[in-house]
Amino acid sequence: MEILGIVCRQNSGKTTLITPLIPALKALGLRVSKVKHSHHGFEIDTFRHRESGAEKVMFASSQRWVLMREIGEGAEPPWRI
C-alpha cells in the first residue's frame, strides 16, 4: 500500500498541484483516492436527514457514492490531519 500526503495552508495551491498529479499516478497503475479535511462545517444536502436523527447519510448514484457520518459537536475525526 502506497500513501502520499499533501498538507499545506489554505489557498496555497494544493488543488493546482494535485489535479495533474492524479492522472500521472493513475498512469502508473496506482489507485487514487482523496480525503479532504475542513475545519469548517459543510453540507451535502443532508441537513433534514441528520436533523431527524440519522447518524449516517449516504448518497448514491450509478456513478458515485458518498457517506456522511456525524461525529459530534467539536469532535475531530478518528484520524489526525
As a whole number of angstroms, the distance between CA 10 and CA 70 comes to 24
Q: What pLDDT, on the 0 to 100 scale, is given for residue 28?
A: 93
The domains found in the chain, sorted by start residue, are 1-37 (no CATH), 40-72 (2.20.25)
pLDDT digits (tens, 9 = 90+) for 22-65: 999 999 998 888 777 777 666 677 778 777 878 888 888 888 88
CA distance to 27, 32, 64, per residue, from 19 (Å) = 14, 11, 19
Burial of residue 57 (CB within 10 Å: 0-12, 13-18, 19+) is middle
pTM beyond 0.75: the answer is no
pLDDT digits (tens, 9 = 90+) for 7-28: 888 889 988 998 899 999 999 9
**Which of helix, strand or coil describes residue 49?**
helix
Residue 46 grid cell: 443532508
